Amino acid sequence: MEKAALTEAIIAKLKTIFDPEIPVDIYELGLIYGIDISEDAAVVISMTLTSPSCPVAETLPPEVEDKIKSVDGVSDCKVNITWEPTWDKSMMSQEAQLELGFL
């Protein structure tokens, strides 16, 4: 599968994962900072959480890894959590901001 199509499939899968505290998927929330795909289709997701004390800090990264590994064409997935830049509501998509009443 070509990289662009694989990226689209990964984004579609990320949009099925929701932050349990906010009824918006993690992609639209702006928690995904990067998707890197190697030549052998191993994926590295750079992401953050809404706060360091987020109650899903232990469970969300493995959930993301498992779901991305299930995408056809992906050979492996690793999630790297970063706190830089610090997440804030301006990172949400316009769709997410509308849904949460910020616009």
pLDDT in tens, the chain (103 residues): 799 999 999 999 999 999 887 889 999 999 999 999 999 999 999 999 988 888 888 899 999 999 999 999 999 999 999 999 999 989 999 999 998 888 7
Q: What token pair was written down for 56?
A: 């899903």
Residue matched to tokens 């004390």: 53
Q: Where are the domains of the chain?
A: 3-92
In the prediction, which pLDDT does 99 show? 86
pLDDT score, position 102: 83
How many Cα atoms occupy the beta-carbon half-sphere of 77 within 13 Å?
25
Give the length of the chain.
103
Cα separation, 14 vs 83, whole angstroms: 19
Distance CA 77, CA 69 (A): 6
Give me the pLDDT at residue 46, please. 98
Query: pTM of this prediction?
Result: 0.92
Q: Does domain 3-92 have CATH number 3.30.300.130?
A: yes
